[in-house]
Every structure is written in C-alpha cells, then in structure tokens.
Amino acid sequence: MSKDNQVLEEFTSREYEHGWTVDLDSDTAPKGLSEDIVRFISAKKEEPEWLLEWRLKAYRHWKTMKEPKWPNVKYPSINYQDIIYYSAPKQKAQPKNLSEVDPELIKTFEKLGISLTEQKRLTGVAVDAVIDSISVATTFKDKLGELGIIFCSFSEAVREHPELVKKYLGTVVPPNDNYFAALNSAVFSDGSFCYIPKGVRCPMELSTYFRINAANTGQFERTLIIAEDDSYVSYLEGCTAPMRDENQLHAAVVELYAMKSAEIKYSTVQNWYPGDKDGKGGIYNFVTKRGICAGDHSKISWTQVETGAAITWKYPSCILKGDYSNGEFYSVAVTNNFQQADTGTKMIHIGKNTRSRIVSKGISAGKSQNSYRGQVHILKRAENARNFSQCDSLLMGDQCGAHTFPYIDVENKSAHVEHEATTSKIGEDQIFYCLQRGIDEEAAVALIVNGYAKEVLKQLPMEFAVEAQKLLALTLEGSVG
C-alpha cells in the first residue's frame, strides 16, 4: 500500500466525535411543509403579523421555485414533505438566565466543549447557543448591553427590537434570492442577532454554536448582523450534529450589513456530521451567506473552515457598494469519504476603488469531490477596482476530485483582477522528512495540512484558530497502520 493510500485509509476510518444524541423532551411540529406549518412556527414564536406575512410570501414564492441543479454535487432528491420544520427542546417558558436553562441542555453544550456558564467561559467570548430550532442561552449580555451592543437570539430580537429586524431583514438576502433562502425565510426558527452601534468596537468575540439534536429535523437558522458607522465586530459560528443514518437538511441564511467605515469579521468552523465512510447519512448544508459593504471604507471578511457535512453548498459573498470598501474570503474546505463540497464566494464590485481578496484552500481525500466556485464581478461604475484570488487544491489519494470554477466579469477597464491556482499532493518526501525527525505519519499529515491552510487559519480569532487546527488534525486522525 502506498503512503497516499495509507493516509486515505486513516482518513476514512476516523470517527465523528460529536455523533452522540441527547434525550431532550422537545416540542415538535408534524412532518411536512404547508402554509399551516409556517403559521404554526410563527404562532409558536408569538410573532407579529408583519413577520408572518413576510414568511408566507417567502413560502408562496418558494413553491414556484426549483432546487438548483448547477452545483457540482449529486444527491437523491429531497422530499421536503418528509422533514420536520420545527423542533424546540421543551423548557419552562423563556429562560431569563442560565439558572433557568434545562441542565440537560447545558450538559449538551458542555459535551461539545462549550460552557454556557459565564465564569467558566473563555474570557472575551460571548456565546449564543442554538439547539435544533431555538436559542437556549446567550452569555455576557449585560456587559455588552452597557456599550449598546445587542447580541441575542433572533426570536428575542423580533420581540425586543422589532424596528431593527423589520428594517434590515431580507435586505441583503431577499426572501426570493434562491431556493434555499426562500425556504429558510418561510420556516426559519431561530438564530442570532447582533447590532453594534455607531463608533463602538465590540470588545469580545461574539459566537454562536448551532447543534442539530432531534431526528428528521431540518435546521433553518437566520443570522443578522448590523454594524453602524465606525463600528467593529468579530463573530464566530460553530456547528455540530449527531450521527444519523438519514440525511438532515440545514438551510441557513446569514446577512451582514456594514455601514460607513464599519468592519465585520465573520468566521465559521463548520463540523456538521459528514456521514459515515460509505456515504450514509450526514448533513445537507445549503447555506446563503452574504454581506453588504453599504458605506464607504467599510470592510467585510469571511473566514470559513469547513470540515463536516455530506454536502456543502455555500458561497459567502460581499457586495462592495461603498467606495473604498473591502471584501475578503478565506476558506479551508476539507472533504473525505463521500463528502461533496461546492463552495466559494462572490465579490460584487459596485463602488469605486473597491478591493477584494479570495484565498481558497481545498483538501480532498477518500472518494470526495471538492469544488471551488467563485465569481468576481466588476460593475461598470466600479472605477479602479482590484481583486486577487488564490485557489489551491490539495489531493490525498487518487480517488478524490478537486475542481475550480472561477467566473470573472469585468465591465470597467480600469479593473485589476488576478487569479492564481495550484494543485498539489502531499508528497511522500514531505512525510518522510517528518518521520525522520521523529514525527509520526498522523502528526505529519496534520502538520502539513495545517501548514497548507495556514493563510486561512491565521485569520481566525486566536482561541478558535487552535480549535480549528485541532479539528483539521482530528479529521485526519484515525488508525495508523
């Protein structure tokens, strides 16, 4: 067996660490999707009329749409009537503070290494935890409140800050944007909401953990982040799900809104259950993430580390509307076994002197397929726009695939667009060099892969960079020999 094949074996034999489930008494909608279900969800959440109407409009539009077939992924067609659209762990009313949160829930998150009890938390990180369909706890709320920062669950934002939600919801990702965004708009159950007032630099990382627990349940969360003039926020999202034989659907929407000279840094460490080594089970991850640099000199930076999910369909994008605005996309996507990922970004240059930077690092192993799909669009009035794209693929073994689909549309002659792409393999020479220094093969592969992904990993907040590095290593962990 060659070295590459051994590595491949290890890859396929490693196990998913977060594959356990917890028996939570939950409040669940009947299977299937209809106007009644949309009404059921909205009623459960005691939403105002306008939001119900908004959902219903999205639902009606969704019914006229077709699932997109252009991504480079294959899966049996999804029966949307066979999914549960709402499941909430039962709690006595809304918890006001942690002492009211079901201890089982706190334990669930502790098992994931996320402590919701503030004194145990890493200082400098506020957490919102979403399990199945609802947010169960948000930490450090008071401290943030003093600065005028709002960080809470989406449902709470609808209750407490309806004017903000109404003003911005759907402005970056309209409900009819695409099939999955429309579905999400109809049935979204919870998510995180974040508002940074003018001139405020958020002093801590804001972080949301998503967890799918219940069976046959889809997760449709929605995140909305608004950064007023001259503000700054760094936000991190993490996700896991139990091992199940059937596929589960996750269709989220994230909207970012950056005003003049505001900066939003959005990082994701995605570790949904990828399915077993024969390709059974796993999460279908169909996500729409988009940010608008609405004001001049604003900046949005996406960083993602994608290691999980059976199928990933995801293109965190930036609309660079303000002059001198800046968009960044840093991505590491790892696929193995039968995982399929079609991920990348869109950079839409509208304003003058806009800049964008794309760094994509794909790692494919097993029988997986890993595609980068990216669009750089320089509009006519985007005088003096610049883009730099770097798309690298790393192959492990010879049964996987790496693909690159860059689309470049330039409508203004003053634009500078640069695209670089490389494909490489982990060399036996590199592995042997490590072995000769006393580093075993498993650690060698982790070292090489982390080195390869370094440019992206270093974009993550410190605490999470370490976590992501471990996750990459864990993805490669298995049985050597």
Partner 1 sequence: MLKIKNIHARVEDKTILNGINLDVKPGEVHAIMGPNGSGKSTLASVLAGREDFEVTEGSIEFLGKDLLKMSPEDRAREGVFLAFQYPVEIPGVSTVNFMKTALNKIREYRGQDTLDAVSFLTLMKEKIKLVDIDQSLLSRSLNESFSGGEKKRNEIFQMAMLEPKLAILDETDSGLDIDALRIVANGVNKLQTKDNATIIVTHYQRLLDYIVPDYVHVLYNGKIVKSGTKELAMELEEKGYDWIKSEMEVA
- Where does this chain bind partner 1 (CB under 8 A)? 3, 427, 429-430, 432-441, 443, 447-448, 450-455
Nearer CB in complex with partner 1: 25/429: 429
Q: Which is nearer to partner 1, 172 or 448 (CB)?
A: 448
CB 291 within 8 A of CB 257: yes
Q: How far is the CB of 399 from partner 1 (least distance, A)?
A: 21
The minimum distance between CB 457 and partner 1, in angstroms, equals 9
Chain-centroid distance, C-alpha 219: 13
For partner 1, the closer of residues 78 and 435 by Cβ is 435
Q: How far apart are CA 370 and CA 403, in angstroms?
A: 6
CB 329 → partner 1: shortest distance, Å? Answer: 19
CB of 110 to partner 1, least distance (A): 27
- Cα 137 to Cα 126, 209, 268, 463, 478: the distances in Å are 10, 10, 19, 21, 34
Q: Which is nearer to partner 1, 38 or 449 (CB)?
A: 449
Q: How far is the CB of 361 from partner 1 (least distance, A)?
A: 10
Residue owning tokens 């994701």: 268
Nearer to partner 1, 77 or 436 (CB): 436
- The residue among 53 and 440 lying less far from partner 1, judged by its C-beta, is 440
Smallest distance, partner 1 to C-beta of residue 58, A? 43
**1 vs 93 by CB, closer to partner 1:** 1
The distance of closest approach from Cβ of residue 443 to partner 1 in the complex, given in angstroms and rounded to an integer, is: 6
| Residue 85 token pair | 């659209």
